[in-house]
A and B are shown apart, each in its own frame.
Chain A
Amino acid sequence: MTGNLNTFAGSTKNPTGAVMVIGGGISGMQSALDLANAGIKVYLVESSPAIGGKMAQLDKTFPTNDCSMCIVSPKLVEVGRHKNIELFTHSEVKSLSGDAGSFKATIVRHARYVDVAACTGCGLCELVCPVTKISYFPEVPAEKEKKSRAKAKEKRLIKGPGLPHPTSSHKWTFSVDEQACSMCGSCHRACLHGAISWEKKQKAVIDQDKCTGCGACFAACPEKFLAIKVDGAPDLDKSIGAAVHARSEILGREFGRSKSGDSEQKDCIRCGLCAITCEKVMHIGALKMVEQGIEAGVDICQVCGACVSVCPVSFLTIDQVTSRTPRPLLNFFNEGLNGRKPINIHYPQAVPRVPVIDAASCVQLNTGACGTCATICGVGAIHYDHRETETEIDIGSVIFSPGIEVFDARMRGEFGYGLYKNVVTSIEFERLLSASGPTSGTVARPGDGQHPKKIAWIQCVGSRDHSCDRDYCSSVCCMYATKEAFIAREHDSSIKPTIFYIDMRSFGKNFDEYVKRAKEHQVRFVRAMVSRVFEDPLTGDLELRYVDESGKRQTEAFDMVVLSVGIQVAKQTKELAATLDIELDRYGFAVTDCYQPLATSRPGIFVSGAVKGPKDIPETVCEASAAAEAASASLAEARGSLISKEVLPPERTPGPDDELRIGVFICHCGTNIASVVDVAAVTEYARTLPGVVYAEHPLYTCSQDSQERMREIIEEHRLNRVVTSACSPTTHEPLFQSTLQQAGLNKYFFDMANIRDQCSWVHANDPILATEKAKRLTRMAVANATAGEPLDELEFTVDSRLLVVGGGVAGMTAAIEAARQGFGVYLIEQEPVLGGQLLHLQRSADGRKFADFLLSLNEKIAADDRIKVFTSSQVVEQSGFVGSFETEIVMPSGATRTLKHGAILVATGAEEYRPEIHGLGTLDSVMTQTDFETALENGTAADWHHARVAMLQCAGSRDDEHLPYCSRICCNHAIKNGLRFKKMFPEARVDVLYRDMRCYGLGELDYREARQAGVNFIRFDPEENPPAISTGETGIDITVTDPSIRLQVRLQPDLLVLSTGMKPRDTEELASMLRVPRNDGGFFIEAHAKLRPVDLPSEGLFMAGTAHGPKSSSETIAQAQAAVARAATLLSKDSKKLSGIVSRVDPTNCAVCLTCVRACPYGVPFINDQHSAEINPALCQGCGICVAECPAKTIFMGRYDDRNIRAKIEAYCASEASHSPR
């Protein structure tokens, strides 16, 4: 392939400083953030209603068991709030024209029917929407044609176990409008309680004493008269649908309706809500109240499900009211495991948290009836007249990261997915585990809701499978299955999980340890491929058949089966790729070059994530940053040209004697808070608190207009403190603080009480006490705001140069890319020449010589005067902080030189491990894979036409006596060498002795090719079946049991090639100088295993390449680019502002006891020459540990001082006295 290869170092003239990122999963979000934070405008296009992608659906993540949602949601919020990221959700790219540097794209925004800017995400619309099914809508009459209702021809009586028990609880008052009454008598006939007196040619009169308020009259009064009036119905001012919902809620609570809609009461309570809904909301009129229950016109029912959803008791079911088959409306975020409403917020933490109306199932959009959601929306955000819109955008580059979908398990019919209810896919199981999933985190069988005890995972469903054209390995399934098994046991320790697998591909950093831990937690691993699954139709249990390792046929029963489905490229993605004109391979994965892993076949379009080949989250995040770098390098000159900068008014500085002027905002949050907490009472109470001069209770404090109003109020009332009692500070505090800043107030003069998550939501059944608690929380926040002090946010200039330590392929790539981004680079290498480990390797995966590649890198480095190379040099001292580092290096002359720079990139690499085993180093016939590759390359292998070669995998890897970890590359390396050898010498023989072939991703294709080429693979187990190997001058002799034939095999090869793995270079001194941690293996530890894979824990420090862990050259190049992207977010800034919340030492009481020095996880405090601890505010992360630990109590942190805590506690206790007199 050609394409981007030629544009690698080039840059177009006058490029557009914007990038379109396609796909809002973790990949797209990371790319967008890295670009936007480096001054590039981003248009993020996502086809689903909210960003988050697959990661948002996952329950936990391996290998740390972090909650997926908890770690991804800060990213969601950051993307949603970023001023330089324009979100196009529920949108698609229609076309792309132009060339790299100046593309034009057309984006189609599908009709959402909800105004994203106005919506506050309160979720009321979804709550009131009565529709739960995909309706069979009656035909809409053509224009001018008279509307006529269908009349029921087929009627069915619905009865409960007993007769109806009419209730008058919270009844509405029905009366006859004498003006409108046309004396037809319909109401009289409909009334089941004899409450309506009527005679021919007389107007009807309702006897309120007899009336139970069922509304039969209301439903029966013909449409042309509408003579029955309703009074005393809450929310009737909004709409009849809203009123029905309100009464249904109250009655539901009264009759003990559970969340799932079940109640003890099985008989009709004749509340009339179903009939009223069907007639007045849906305009169908299929239901009628009769003596024995409800009479349903089953032929005219549109099967929308509204009657069932408003029924406050367990009386109506959908099957009873219709003769047609109800079509469930499934929640796709929950993988169809439960239902949804036509108006739906994609998931609870969605960004934007704005619902979308499904045009296919919404009654209003199809028949014009209902429309309840629009009437309940407090901000008028719902617009049924929305239409699809097109937007044209100018961009310089495109990042293609649409992600993947899971394999359709029905293609493997033998496992019964789709037929047997208790066979689920792994992604469905994730939703079952998730606390916000369909079962609220209870592990339950979809078939009967029972708690399964024995669960089986079947691996490689739609992976490594030639029969269904999924030859590749999906890379993530071994680990996610292990994780799911592990977590399932965490949910219910009586669960006995079993994983059926072929090879355990736990090749990533710390993955083997995770599998080991899972085994300790009684996760059973069985190396076998399951051939069939049979369901016991009575119990729903499943019988699995497989052949075990000894060759015996086994059957075993399980309660539930999880299919570890592989990942694949969706059809729509392939179509989109065609629109973009980029090349895909036969499976749909984007084709890239191994030296430019992010570039697609079309210049200017880059790719990241699993659409480039299966990969896990950290690799995806790393690639996303790398793609951001690749996409922006040629746009560097346009950096900052299209982004907006916020200009803030000067801050008012309150004097120490200024009177307190506190403004309090008590939020309704729609009805989230106001339906439980009496917000008016809390507001009234807040006014009485000392210092409060203003209080109000907005419907949504966070809405755009409320924020504008807040700004005006701050100015008008000269407020100098602001308190909001609303939702969670984690999500909303930054918003309110920025409003304070816009009003010229220091943002730390703010405090927030969470009266939603911590009050109204948890005390829904006790409004009185909830209101008291809200008052108390508000008082504490007011007290804390009173104690608040303005905090300075230090600003300093950022040095735009980058220091790269290590001149291997990672360091060289990083240097070239950073220079392309416009930054100066210092490249330090301890050896006399650049190239690192690649100097010892021969050819890339596609057969090109590494020497040529290194040559081109060297040329680029030499040609770029922004890069200063220091070979034979070493770092000896390092000081400073993010944005302003100073590093001293020793040059070959012995002279030292101090370099100033803004960021550090550690790319110290790794080397081949050479253990003294099996005669390596002493015998010519024993060598490493690298030696073997060199021999093949240099022709020393000329006489190997009939040679017999044995390769020993994990020779010194996954071995506690040598390297305890998996070196990841060795399996692919052995296959590459084996294949090359077989091609050169077809008569020769290769036997590979392995434990698990870890040919992840597309490497599986080579594994298959190698087997087809005649390379033998013999599995061994170091404990149960270790090969006996003897080597000496007389020859090599290997005896091993081959499990596939269950016989002992004796090999007498001419050569023994050891796959010895990788070990990091000695970085002990460097690590202690930079104060960065390394793991037991000596690899650097990233700031976050999942989401910050190239960041080191200290700010301004990044890493790339094999210093992080073993990886291929292509992965190393991507990581180097990723590290540059991360550094660019820092180096592209002129100055950096530090948080005001940092620790500060008062030297007066410092005992230089070193406690803070020892306690700080970031190694920031130090003892200065004034005999006091000192904390550099530029380095402090504001975690507060030192503050808590300091024995002299002489460390302080703004906003979290004793003063603040005490103010809150005192405010809390003050109420104890007033509310409970003792």
Chain B
Amino acid sequence: MITGTPKPIEEILEMLEPYDNIIVAGCHGCVTVCRVGGEKEVQVLASTLRLAREAAGRTITIREVSLERQCDPEYIEQMRPYVGDYQAVLSIACGAGIQFLAEKFTTTPLLPGINTGFLGVTVRQGEWSERCQGCGDCVLHLTGGICPVTRCAKSLFHGPCGGSVQGICEVDKEVKCGWQLIIDRLKALGQMENYGKLKPYKGWNSSRDGGPRRIIREDMI
């Protein structure tokens, strides 16, 4: 899922300074699951904002909305009939959702209510960890199911660097060395030969380096 963290309320209040009549828009997708942008968070954030503004002596009208997903046009269209009645939309969906809203409603300012994180997993309740960077050229079958792009701080492709000390990355003591993990796993699987199969270099053309990416599936159009 795509993860995220709430923006500090002060920052949001500052963003909302010019407005008295807004929509807070949540999303039932990933951000609901990582508890940052679901229906509940919409209600909590809206209430918080109302209280804060009331305390500041300047009330704010908020319409609370939760779309099924903010990344599909059909769901976004559900907002069209009334979006023009509001000064701004504060979205607590991921950056993709917020941008898509902004793209569809060109005359209404869109404000981000969360900081979008990464493509990750729930390690345990309340802890998420990054697993994928969407490089567009997956090699997990060669690396024991552990991603060198994501898990190695340098996204190295040739094994660990000199900063790997007893399985810990030099970047952070909390971070395990990705390559240590890969080699341990390959050994356990008896697949050390895969280590040699890795390409001497990785083509990053399918990653972000080619600018914003798109996928076109002719079979579905």
Contacts and interface: CB of A to CB of B under 8 A. Distances in A.
Given A1167-B68, A1171-B68, A1154 B74 contact: yes
B85 interface: no
A810 interface: no
Contacts of B69: 1152
A611 interface: no
A1158 B72 CA distance: 11
Interface in A1154-1172: 1154, 1157-1158, 1167, 1171
Interface string B55-81: 000000000000011001011000000
B68 A1157 contact: no
Interface string B69-111: 1001011000000000000000000000000000000000000
Contacts of A1167: 68, 75
A1167 B28 CA distance: 13
B4 to A, nearest CB: 20
Contacts of A1152: 28, 68-69
Contacts of A1171: 28, 68
If over half of B's interface residues share one DSSP class (helix, strand or loop), that class is named, otherwise mixed; here it is loop
Nearest to B28: A1171
A1154 B28 CA distance: 14
Contacts of B72: 1154
Interface in A612-664: none
Interface residues of A, number: 6
B28 A1157 contact: no
Interface in B156-215: none
Interface string A1137-1159: 00000000000000010100110
B96 to A, nearest CB: 16
A630 to B, nearest CB: 41
B201 to A, nearest CB: 36
Contacts of A1158: 74
A1157 B72 CA distance: 12
Nearest to B73: A1154
A1154 B71 CA distance: 11
A1079 to B, nearest CB: 21
Interface residues of B, number: 6
Contacts of A1154: 72, 74-75
A1158 B74 CA distance: 9
A1171 B29 CA distance: 11
A386 B72 CA distance: 71
A1152 B75 CA distance: 10
A1158 B217 CA distance: 15
Nearest to A1153: B72
A52 to B, nearest CB: 41
A3 B155 CA distance: 91
Contacts of B74: 1154, 1157-1158
B110 to A, nearest CB: 22
B64 to A, nearest CB: 14
Nearest to A1169: B68
A1154 B74 CA distance: 8
A302 B72 CA distance: 81
Nearest to B78: A1167
Nearest to A1152: B68
A1171 B72 CA distance: 14
A348 B28 CA distance: 58
A714 to B, nearest CB: 46
Contacts of B28: 1152, 1171
A1152 B74 CA distance: 11
Contacts of B75: 1154, 1167
A1154 B75 CA distance: 9
Most buried by B among A1157, A1158, A1167, A1171: A1167
Interface in B24-76: 28, 68-69, 72, 74-75
Interface in A955-994: none
A1074 to B, nearest CB: 16
A1158 B73 CA distance: 11
A1158 B69 CA distance: 15
Nearest to B77: A1072
B202 to A, nearest CB: 31
A1130 B69 CA distance: 38
A896 to B, nearest CB: 13
A1072 to B, nearest CB: 9
A1152 B72 CA distance: 11
A1154 B72 CA distance: 8
A818 B69 CA distance: 44
A1052 to B, nearest CB: 51
A1171 B75 CA distance: 12
A765 B129 CA distance: 70
A162 to B, nearest CB: 65
A1157 B68 CA distance: 14
Nearest to B29: A1152
A1173 to B, nearest CB: 10
A1159 to B, nearest CB: 10
Interface string A1105-1146: 000000000000000000000000000000000000000000
Nearest to A1166: B74
A1126 B68 CA distance: 39
A1154 B68 CA distance: 10
A1167 B66 CA distance: 13
A1152 B69 CA distance: 9
A1171 B68 CA distance: 7
Interface string A1165-1187: 00100010000000000000000
A340 B190 CA distance: 82
B86 to A, nearest CB: 19
Nearest to A1167: B68
Contacts of B68: 1152, 1167, 1171
A1052 B190 CA distance: 96
A411 B68 CA distance: 72
A1157 B78 CA distance: 14
B220 to A, nearest CB: 9
B19 to A, nearest CB: 27
Nearest to A1189: B220
A1152 B27 CA distance: 13
A642 to B, nearest CB: 49
Most buried by B among A1152, A1157, A1171: A1152
B191 to A, nearest CB: 32
A1167 B77 CA distance: 13
Nearest to A1158: B74
B126 to A, nearest CB: 24
A877 to B, nearest CB: 9
Nearest to A1157: B74
Nearest to B69: A1152
A1158 B75 CA distance: 12
A1185 to B, nearest CB: 13
A435 to B, nearest CB: 33
A82 B113 CA distance: 64
A1157 B74 CA distance: 9
A667 to B, nearest CB: 42
A64 B210 CA distance: 45
Contacts of A1157: 74
A393 to B, nearest CB: 55
A1157 B28 CA distance: 18
A1049 B220 CA distance: 57
Interface string B128-149: 0000000000000000000000
12 contacts: A1152-B28, A1152-B68, A1152-B69, A1154-B72, A1154-B74, A1154-B75, A1157-B74, A1158-B74, A1167-B68, A1167-B75, A1171-B28, A1171-B68
Given A1157-B74, A1167-B68, A1171-B28, 9 more contacts: A1152-B28, A1152-B68, A1152-B69, A1154-B72, A1154-B74, A1154-B75, A1158-B74, A1167-B75, A1171-B68
Interface of A: 1152, 1154, 1157-1158, 1167, 1171
Interface of B: 28, 68-69, 72, 74-75
A-B residue pairs, 4 tightest by C-beta: A1152-B68, A1154-B72, A1154-B74, A1167-B68
